[in-house]
Amino acid sequence: MQKPEWLKVLLQKRMLLVLALGFVSGLPLGLSGTALQAWYAIDGVDVVTIGFLALVGQPYVYKFIWAPFMDKWRVPYLGRRRGWMLITQISLIVVLCLMALSSPQAAPYQLAFLALCLAFLSATQDIAIDAYRTELLTPEERGMGTAMAVSGYRIAMLVSGGLTLIVADYAGFSFTYFLMAALMGIGVFATFWAKEPQQYREPPPTFAAACIEPFKEFLSRRHAIALLAFVVLYKLGDAFASTLTTAFLLKGVGFTLKDVGIINKTGGLVSTLFGVFVGGVLMVRIGLFRSLLGFGIIQALTNILFFVLALMGPNYGMLILTVCLENFGGGLGTAAFMALVMSLCNPRFTATQFALISALAAVGRVFVGPAAGILVENVGWAEFFLWTVLFAIPGLILLIWLRPTINEYEARQEEAMQSGIEEAKASA
């Protein structure tokens, strides 16, 4: 009996690599966020200092600034992508060990500086891994590859943001950070196990060109501004709904912290992972545009469930249904959207353009909070969630208009990859 196409893709070595690299990409995030704040709180540091710890996460927002450096230069071993991956992974292990040897009570500012270094190195590792994954996967593999990457990332966030607190409760934070440093070894193993992807174009000739050409090249494309607008708008409705979900469940409906922690966080994580996996499988069969359209409609319509929950009040059955279906729809949309981002990257500037587009995609998630709060204040929770469905419509309309362009990019990337493979075989 012949294996289905999606199963053949899933069982490839490169998918296991993408899963492992997704894990080490997500692991440092909780260690410079949730776990670090808990460590400071347990050691009796004041709330004002703990509040300022949020600033150590800023390198994730500005990583596109130094991404051109990684597109232009390569380290003298392992290749342009894997070389940078190895350097950042070893550096992350060293910083985590130094953090384990420090203490919020004895040296709060030193530990905060190390956390800033951790965030910078983690963001730099993300640049290299995102570029590697984009260059490694063929268009047919990108849906499943996104599912594996997101799965690894979310599992790592659960480990570094939740499991660390349990381990620290028994063994202390110093031991916990040493343990997390050991887990980063998964990335080192994966980097040595992997192969450098075929480079289909020469890197930019100068550093100035590496900084300017990625933006100039993208803006010279047909419908470039419309594509960037779509990047912002596609998950805008989802961003509006998710930014106040916890506040809605606690204050708007009246669920307890335990309810939100178990059902919304844990159930939401499982549902999201299932969504990106199903999305990756379906993309193998239906292609990029139909996935973007179908999944976009689903992720918009599932917000109506919050409207129903707001009318019903604290109903546990409805809470479970809402959380599971809404996160499942968001996972579907994420699978298609990340595949689109990869298809938009020129192989000459993969690191820079991926960092830029992914940063632009975060605009909605970062800046809708104040607007969402004002809207809830004026119309109430139930009507607010109906508005989130409407906010998703402009992105879907723009997607339909961009259909020929998106299909063209997908086909062009496949041709470029096939050409690169043939050139590699010819030169071998």
**Are 164 and 33 a contacting pair, CB within 8 Å?**
no
Looking at the predicted structure, is the pLDDT value of residue 332 above 80?
A: yes
The span from the CA of 357 to the CA of 381, in Å, is: 31
The pLDDT of residue 363: 67
Shared-domain flag, residues 23 and 126: yes
Domain-located, residue 169 = yes
Domain-located, residue 173 = yes
DSSP character at residue 253? I
Domain-located, residue 95 = yes
Shared-domain flag, residues 120 and 236: no
**Domain range holding 393?**
207-428
Domain-located, residue 175 = yes
Nearest Cα to 144, choosing from 339, 425, 317?
Answer: 339
Q: Which of residues 139, 173, 197 is at a domain's end?
A: 197
Q: What is the dihedral of CA 328, 329, 331, 334, to 10 degrees?
A: 180
**Are 309 and 322 a contacting pair, CB within 8 Å?**
yes
Q: How confident is the model at residue 118 (pLDDT cuts 50, 70, 90)?
A: very high
Looking at the predicted structure, is the pLDDT value of residue 133 above 70?
A: yes
Q: Mean pLDDT for the chain?
A: 81
DSSP assignment string, 129-154: HHHHHHHHS-GGGHHHHHHHHHHHHH
**Are 15 and 140 a contacting pair, CB within 8 Å?**
no
The span from the CA of 81 to the CA of 195, in Å, is: 10
The pLDDT of residue 307: 93
For the chain, percent of residues with pLDDT exceeding 70: 84
Looking at the predicted structure, is the pLDDT value of residue 5 above 60?
A: no
382: CATH: 1.20.1250.20
Q: Which of residues 169, 197, 225 is at a domain's end?
A: 197
Burial 149-169 (b: 16+ CB within 10 A, else e): bbbbbbbbbbbbbbbbbebbe
Looking at the predicted structure, is the pLDDT value of residue 3 above 70?
A: no
Looking at the predicted structure, is the pLDDT value of residue 188 above 70?
A: yes
- The token pair at 152 is 């690894």
Shared-domain flag, residues 367 and 276: yes
The pLDDT of residue 428: 43
In this structure, what are the phi and psi dihedrals at residue 81, rounded to the nearest 5 degrees? -90, -50
The residue among 105 and 349 whose pLDDT is bigger is 105
- In three-state secondary structure terms, 87 is helix
Integer angstrom CA distances of residue 303 from 3, 239, 309, 310, 324: 36, 11, 10, 11, 11
In this structure, what are the phi and psi dihedrals at residue 315, rounded to the nearest 5 degrees? -105, 115
Amino acid letter, 25: S
Average pLDDT over residues 318-338: 88
Average pLDDT over residues 359-367: 68
The span from the CA of 174 to the CA of 100, in Å, is: 4
The span from the CA of 352 to the CA of 213, in Å, is: 10
Shared-domain flag, residues 361 and 410: yes
Shared-domain flag, residues 185 and 269: no
User: Could you tell me the sign of the dihedral formed by the alpha carbons of 205, 210, 212, 215, in that order?
Assistant: positive
Domain-located, residue 67 = yes
Shared-domain flag, residues 191 and 216: no
Residue 183: Cβ-neighbour burial (10 angstroms; 0-12, 13-18, 19+): middle
In this structure, what are the phi and psi dihedrals at residue 11, rounded to the nearest 5 degrees? -85, 0
Shared-domain flag, residues 222 and 168: no
Sorted by sequence, the CB contacts under 8 Å of residue 165 that are 6+ apart come out as 34, 35, 38
The pLDDT of residue 367: 66
Helices (H), 160-235: 164-171, 173-183, 185-193, 207-219, 224-233
The pLDDT of residue 389: 92
Shared-domain flag, residues 37 and 109: yes
Domain-located, residue 52 = yes
Shared-domain flag, residues 274 and 185: no
Average pLDDT over residues 24-46: 81
The residue among 354 and 368 whose pLDDT is bigger is 354
- The token pair at 3 is 């294996």
pLDDT tens-digit series, residues 392-423: 999 999 999 999 888 887 666 655 555 544 54
The pLDDT of residue 121: 94
Shared-domain flag, residues 148 and 262: no
Residue 210: Cβ-neighbour burial (10 angstroms; 0-12, 13-18, 19+): buried
Domain-located, residue 62 = yes
Shared-domain flag, residues 182 and 217: no
Q: Which of residues 197, 225, 256 is at a domain's end?
A: 197
In this structure, what are the phi and psi dihedrals at residue 62, rounded to the nearest 5 degrees? -105, 15
Angle between helix axes 268-286 and 288-301 (nearest 10 degrees) is 150
Average pLDDT over residues 314-331: 89
Shared-domain flag, residues 167 and 223: no
